[in-house]
Amino acid sequence: MSQICRLPLHDTHVRLGARIGAFGSWEVPLYYTSIVQEHEAVRQRAGLFDISHMGEFRVTGNDALGFLQELLPRDVGKMETGQALYMPLLNEDGGIIDDVILYRFEPAHFLLIVNAGNVDKDWSWVESRAAAHKGAAPDFKIQNASADFGLLALQGPGSAAIIEKTLGSTWTDVAYYHFRPFGDGMIARTGYTGEDGFEIMVKKAGLLEMWDRLMAAGRADGLVPAGFGARDTLRLEAGMLLYGHDMEDTTNPLEAGISWAVDLKKASFIGRDALAKQAGKPQAKKLAAFEMIERAIPRQGYELRKGSQTLGHVTSGTFSPTLAKNIGMGYVPPSEAVAGNEIQVVVRQKSIQAKIVKLPFYKRKK
């Protein structure tokens, strides 16, 4: 894990003038021109992100469905072919190992896309659970395909027109959180920005060609390469959580506010019993969103207070380019996580006034 990884298109990003920085153990483009410019391009036109650091696991065979029903907290059996579903991957205690998207290619062929920083941890977990499951069906197989595939995210209101120009009109009727196979990979109507967009999974060998085709098709419409800096500000405005910051192994989905992605009515899945026990009780903490009333930018790790009482700490915080406000999230006692409640963020030893708001900070107009 200490080894530094590079994206397959690293040289392309450098050639485009990217400022390279660290994201976990990955070297990634932070921005090409400026975070604010790329952020605005995605909100107003379109941006192209290289998110090939993400991990991909395939689960196939007659036992795939049964295995995933036990592994995952949503009713995977209800998924149609071509549907994608967001959810947390839970441990026995109901803690969040990762947040993932599951794609159903065929009735017995699934793909799991996981966070880059968690690929090793997730794979060990999935492997250990599969080992316990394997005996049943000889064709059951799990495969870590993370090294074989690249992933591009085309995001912004101009995305559909650019996909159409690049690949034809058949792709624009893929519905939100649906996908279609594309070569060995797929194209999904998903994203991490709060805008319309597509995520395009292709074999590494075809990644550069896809990047170039999309850029060429979109340039006239204002498509720009966008880096991890803008990805973070965009997802935070849209109220999306970042693993390792806004949730971790010791956080449960009730605390993180993603219980909508957990189906406690499902008879059995890993972590279900622990969560069912906690569901009726008051939680120790709850993820709350806040915006600054006084001038200051909240940053990860800053203390959240109410008077002399420590409430918790900031897990994500930034200047919001779209709202021109300073915003953040952090865990506080549930009684404090009420919209309108005024709290303080400790910035450079000073208590700065903020107020709790509802998520998301930003919602696009449809």
Partner 1 sequence: MNFPKELRYTKSHEWARREGEKVVCGITEYAQKEISDVVFVEVPKRGQAAEQAKAVAVVESVKAAFDIYAPMSGKVSQVNADLESRPELVNQDCYGQGWFFEIEASDPSEWDKLMTAEEYEKNIQNESVK
In the complex, the residues that contact partner 1 under the rule CB under 8 A are 19, 30-31, 34-37, 229, 233, 295-297, 299, 318-319, 321, 326, 348
Tell me how far, at minimum, the Cβ of 339 lies from partner 1, in Å: 25
Tell me how far, at minimum, the Cβ of 55 lies from partner 1, in Å: 25
**End-to-end distance of the chain based on CA atoms, in angstroms?**
41
Within the chain, strands assigned E span 5-6, 19-23, 26-31, 46-50, 55-60, 84-90, 96-106, 109-114, 141-144, 149-155, 179-182, 185-188, 197-203, 223-225, 286-292, 303-306, 309-320, 325-332, 342-347, 350-357
Tell me how far, at minimum, the Cβ of 36 lies from partner 1, in Å: 4
Give the nearer residue to partner 1 in terms of CB position, either 190 or 233: 233
Give the nearer residue to partner 1 in terms of CB position, either 267 or 324: 324
Give the nearer residue to partner 1 in terms of CB position, either 261 or 297: 297
Give the nearer residue to partner 1 in terms of CB position, either 31 or 290: 31
Tell me how far, at minimum, the Cβ of 326 lies from partner 1, in Å: 8
Is the N-terminal amide bond of 298 cis, ω within 30° of 0?
Answer: no
Q: How many C-beta atoms lie closer than 10 Å to residue 360's C-beta?
A: 15
Give the nearer residue to partner 1 in terms of CB position, either 141 or 299: 299
Q: How far is CA 183 from the centre of its chain?
A: 24
For the chain, give the number of residues. Answer: 366
Tell me how far, at minimum, the Cβ of 324 lies from partner 1, in Å: 9
Retrieve residue 156's tokens: 């912004």
Alpha carbon dihedral 329, 333, 338, 339, in 10-degree steps, equals -20
Tell me how far, at minimum, the Cβ of 191 lies from partner 1, in Å: 20
Tokens 């990955």 correspond to 26
Give the nearer residue to partner 1 in terms of CB position, either 166 or 326: 326
